[in-house]
Structure formats: C-alpha cells, structure tokens
Structure 1
Amino acid sequence: MLKTVLAAGAVLALVAGGVSSGAIAQQKGAAQQQQLPDWRAQPRYATVNLRAGFEPDPHEVSVEAGGDREATGVGPDCAGWIDFSKPDVDLNYTSGQYPLYISVAANTDTTLVMNDSAGNWICNDDLDGVNPGIVIQRPASGNYNIWVGTFERGAPQRATLRISEVPPRR
C-alpha cells in the first residue's frame, strides 16, 4: 500500500506503514536543491563567453545587486542577500595561462557568490574595502555562475561585475 502524506510542506511516500527509502532520498535531494541558488537557470543579465587573453580587460556587466534570500549557508564565507532563482551572470570561460579575477564595484557593501566550473560554491565579502572579489589562480575552462549580492537586505543596488585576468586597480 502506497500512501502520500504532506508533512511540514514535504511530501513523503509511506509504504505499508513506513517511509520508503527512495522517498527519503528524493525528499533530501529536493530539500538540498531548495537550499542552494539555482545555478541551472538562465542568468538575469548576461551570458559572457571569454577566452584567455580577452580584450577589453576587464569585461564589465552592469547589474542590480541584491535579492530576497540570505546567502549564509550556501558555502564557506557566504554572506549577504541574493536572488536564489537565477544567477546574475553566467561566464563561459576558456582558460589559459592567466589567473581569473571576478570582482564588484559599487557604492554600497556588496557580496559575491559563485558556483565554479567544478560545482564548488565560492563566496567573498570585502576583498577591497566593501567590494568583494574572487581570485582563481589556475581557473579551469567551463561555466561559472555568478550572483552579486548586497550585505544588507533592502532594495537592489546598482553595481558593476568585473571579470579580468589582471588584479583589480585600487
């Protein structure tokens, strides 16, 4: 006998009076996906395709930083507020001999959340004053999903995402 029960917003399948292990695994997978930003969604602002040695450097994308969900818990050092429903920018990068610098310039305290080409979550807040930045010394070729957040919850704020192969100018 298969029975479906709604418990605290979660659907569990009960089999002969117990919860099936398949239903538990499916529920855990769904819960974990809901706790992380949707890196598979189409980006809000741009898909950027760059090869090592790109020009002009830095490549810049104007965004509205912020969102309605707290990034704490997404990965180490994650902070601020982002929109979990979609990345702000997807970067398709073909690597070469250069490091990759991803940073934000804004007049407000911003944060960065990134899902790298290997599926790792990397975050930063305040690399240069209140502007965040992520440095990847040996970037792999692949897709990088990037969210620009605000440290404080509130209205979206104008910001510029910068992708470069040279350290940001201070």
Structure 2
Amino acid sequence: MIERMSMLALAGVLAAVAAPAFAQNAGLEPNFGSANLTVGFTPDPWSIDVVAGGDRDAARLGRGCVGKISDAPDFRLTYEAGSLPLVFRTRSGDDTTLVVNGPDGRWSCDDDSFGDGDAEVRFNRPQSGVYDVWIGTYGDTPATGILILTETP
C-alpha cells in the first residue's frame, strides 16, 4: 500500500515537472503599473503609456493568442464590476496584440479587432477582481503604445 502511494506521488511530481508551463508569471510586478477602478470610473477612457513586446510566445496560451509578450504582466487592473462592459484596447503605430487573464483565470486574446493593427478585448459582463494584461508585438522589436480601458465602447 505504501509503495503504491509512493508511486502515485512520484508520478504526480514527474507529470508536474514534465508538463509545460502555460501561464505567464502574474506574480511578478507589472511592467507599467496597476490601477484600482470601479464601474463608472472617470476619466473614461482611462489610458497608460506602455512598451509592448517581450521574449515569450503568446501562442502557447491558447486560441487567438499571438505575438511576443513579457513574462511579467504589463499592467494589472483590480476592478469592481457593475452592469457596464469593460474593454481593453491598444493604440500604437505598430501592430500590437493583447492578452488578458481575467479574474476567473481564463485567457482572452486579440489581434487587430480595434482596427489598423490595434487590439481589443471586451468583457460584456465583467467580473470583479484582478485582470492581468500583456501587450504583444510581432517579432523581437518592442513598440511604444497606449493601453486604453473603457466602459463606453
């Protein structure tokens, strides 16, 4: 019985070690800061300057995720939701992508939905909690840009 439990424990450890790590490191300090916002925030839109890009391939996070992102989030939003939608957008002279890990742990990604190479991730019924945000680029060259948050898309 003890041998069987030891074998199961060993198998669990080996599976954990052999499994690829799909999550970005949300435990790291965000590259460009954080904010606490409540539904109805002003000003709307709310924005922050960022430098997009990194050395991690966002495609490993799931369907629709593309671009190169950093290990640490670029921005962290703690949000108190209400009845309004919550929208994350990028604005840059370069083609940027967007990766958002919501309070439920799900990944939401986009490339070009905001038009002209800019990305948009929309939560029509946002949850209260922490949203970690990564802004990506194609290739290895970082890009300056703006992360925009709005409830009035």
Change (3 A) 1:29 1:59: farther
Which residue is equivalent to 2:55?
68
Q: Equivalent residue of 2:21, what SS?
A: helix
Distance in 2 (alpha carbons) for counterparts of 1:74 and 1:159: 23
- Structure number with greater CO (CA < 8 Å, separation at least 6) is 2
Distance in 2 (alpha carbons) for counterparts of 1:97 and 1:162: 19
Distance in 1 (alpha carbons) for counterparts of 2:122 and 2:23: 22
Deviation at residue 81 of structure 1 after TM alignment: 0.3
- Given residue 35 of structure 1, which amino acid in structure 2 is its aligned partner? F
Larger Rg: 1
Deviation at residue 97 of structure 1 after TM alignment: 1.4
Residues 1:118 and 2:104 are matched in the alignment: yes
- Given residue 26 of structure 1, which amino acid in structure 2 is its aligned partner? V
Residues 1:40 and 2:27 are matched in the alignment: yes
Change (3 A) 1:52 1:72: same
Give me the CA root mean square deviation.
1.8
Identical amino acids, percent of aligned pairs? 34
Conserved? CA contact 1:108–1:157, under 8 Å: yes
Structure 1 residues not aligned, in runs of 5+:
1-14
Question: Deviating runs (4+, > 6 A) in structure 1?
Answer: none
Deviation at residue 26 of structure 1 after TM alignment: 3.0
Change (3 A) 1:137 1:34: same
Structure 2 residues not aligned, in runs of 5+:
none
Per-residue Cα deviation, 1:109-143 (whole angstroms, up to 9, x for no partner): 00001110100011000102210000110001000
Q: Which of 143, 147, 153 pairs up with 2:139?
A: 153
TM-score normalised according to structure 1 size: 0.81
Change (3 A) 1:129 1:23: farther
Equivalent pairs counted in the alignment come to 148
Residues 1:130 and 2:117 are matched in the alignment: yes
Deviation at residue 32 of structure 1 after TM alignment: 4.8
